[in-house]
Structure 1
């Protein structure tokens, strides 16, 4: 029986998920999301299998679910005016080849550690029980994760552009000079593991230091990170793109220049590392570096 809740004394027998959810609906101290979460674990009955299935399904659903709108937009000429590199619309063949590679990576590289994540949670104290932490606590953790992952991504991504690391590992990801949504996770297995460690490893270290983290928080964090990665590779710049409202947000224009010029623009979510360290990509970044050099030579 699942350990997702501490008291099942009032529960009736369960033969379906609907029965399980009906039991949790009786618990007034839980909100709707907590009731669904608890009902899922209780119905599965095996917490290790439930966590593995949940995380793998969430990853596939939200990754490809977020890629699908961009794939559709690529086929609608009206949106070409928003395409950053409008002369490079991905072909159906490119989309299909990318899809096959990404699926292979998901099932042969990422699936294995996902299915063994639950024992790790139990070892270091990541909770999966209901109720969830407060929204304030989760918001703080998500903000910290975004900042720390961005730093991890910047330095390791920049390192992957060095010599043999680029030639044998990172070059695969740069096959598409004009990125599209599905290409967000088109990468060498070593790169998938290395950069993915920033997404998963940072919450693990956070829990080991603070002793406070919930699996639901990690789940939503991974969804947000997937959305950020896919959107950054979309290749589209809209008047309503987030960086127009949050100037420090990277967005598609930032990462598109990285693919276009192959150097600079190494960060994932924010612009500050590239700005402070002078590694912004594209003509604008080049101009700023030349201006700084000219000032030093005066």
Structure 2
């Protein structure tokens, strides 16, 4: 195994450029693939593990968040797609998009950036690996699947809590500024909510690593990218015939979350539907009809 931090101590104090670092790694590590060589070269080039992980983490987050939001911004400007818009009379204006972008960026730089700079020390403290070669794809797949399930449970209970009284008024109400959500609004929230719900995304893998001693930062990145895609798509406001929940009935998606923003109740889970189904917090015509019939039956029974 190639240990990044160890390799850095064996090179000169100054590496002229990234390509030279890549060539050096390639010459000495023929068994690595191109992505592993690029990864190791980045750490060698930076000469500082904290900066290397911090910059990579922040840039990755910003590129994925705004890169995945961009197609939804474009779709909102094209009338052809209105037939798939769930709340098709509520199209976000350019002013709303810019205001949302400003506040999301403010949150990223003031709330998330300081945490990202502490990410590498936390990785090392809890035993998270930054070395190459990367773990097997099967290991990455099962760990990401576990994180999806655990984060969904965390999100359900804290999201439901945020809809209670003062928590909603002083914390969660900011996220409900837009009753018809759009992609950029996925992380439009108060700093407290960002930290509490964000723990499900970042904290759960760290706890997993502390308990098992088996987690690579690459797996963490893949998980975060997929979670960002899920969150942004759930806020997109569009329901297509090819939307994922048509093929995976337990998947939540935009159709599930859009109702939550429109009605301000129910559908608290992030990725899956099972918590809302089991605890009767679904906000669908079928579930509301079922609850109404149950309420009427209970009232009739008491009247007897």
Q: Same fold (TM over 0.5)?
A: yes
Residue 282 of structure 1 deviates from its aligned partner by 3.7
User: 8 Å contact 2:201–2:224 — kept in the other structure?
Assistant: yes
Q: 1:50 to 1:7 in 2, by over 3 A?
A: closer
Matched ranges for 1:276-291 at <5 A = 276-291=278-293
Secondary structure of the residue aligned to 2:115 is helix
Q: 1:260 to 1:130 in 2, by over 3 A?
A: same
Residue 167 of structure 1 deviates from its aligned partner by 0.4
- Equivalent of 1:72, from 66, 71, 74? 74
Residue 6 of structure 1 deviates from its aligned partner by 5.0
- Work out the CA distance in 2 between the residues paired with 1:282 and 1:214: 39
The residue aligned with 2:244 is 242
Q: 1:117 to 1:247 in 2, by over 3 A?
A: same
- Equivalent of 1:146, from 145, 148, 151? 148
Q: 1:98 to 1:8 in 2, by over 3 A?
A: closer
- Work out the CA distance in 2 between the residues paired with 1:169 and 1:127: 35
Cα shift readout 1:63-89 (whole Å, capped 9, x = no counterpart) = 000000000100011111110000000
Matched ranges for 1:123-162 at <5 A = 123-162=125-164
Residue 123 of structure 1 deviates from its aligned partner by 0.9
Residue 5 of structure 1 deviates from its aligned partner by 6.4
Is 1:88 the counterpart of 2:98? The answer is no
Secondary structure of the residue aligned to 2:223 is helix
- Work out the CA distance in 1 between the residues paired with 2:274 and 2:9: 53
Gaps of 5+ in 2: none
* TM-score, normalisation: structure 2: 0.93
User: 8 Å contact 2:155–2:197 — kept in the other structure?
Assistant: yes
User: 8 Å contact 1:21–1:36 — kept in the other structure?
Assistant: yes
* TM-score, normalisation: structure 1: 0.95
Gaps of 5+ in 1: none
Cα shift readout 1:77-108 (whole Å, capped 9, x = no counterpart) = 11111100000000011111111110100001
Matched ranges for 1:104-119 at <5 A = 104-119=106-121
CA RMSD of aligned residues (A): 1.9
User: 8 Å contact 2:276–2:282 — kept in the other structure?
Assistant: yes
Matched ranges for 1:166-181 at <5 A = 166-181=168-183
Matched ranges for 1:14-93 at <5 A = 14-26=15-27, 27-93=29-95
Q: 1:128 to 1:44 in 2, by over 3 A?
A: same
User: 8 Å contact 1:261–1:282 — kept in the other structure?
Assistant: no
Residue 166 of structure 1 deviates from its aligned partner by 0.2
Matched ranges for 1:210-221 at <5 A = 210-221=212-223
Task: Tell me which moved more, 88-97 or 20-29.
Answer: 20-29
Number of corresponding residues:
297
Residue 290 of structure 1 deviates from its aligned partner by 2.2
The residue aligned with 1:102 is 104
Residue 236 of structure 1 deviates from its aligned partner by 0.4
The residue aligned with 1:184 is 186
Task: Tell me which moved more, 233-242 or 25-34.
Answer: 25-34
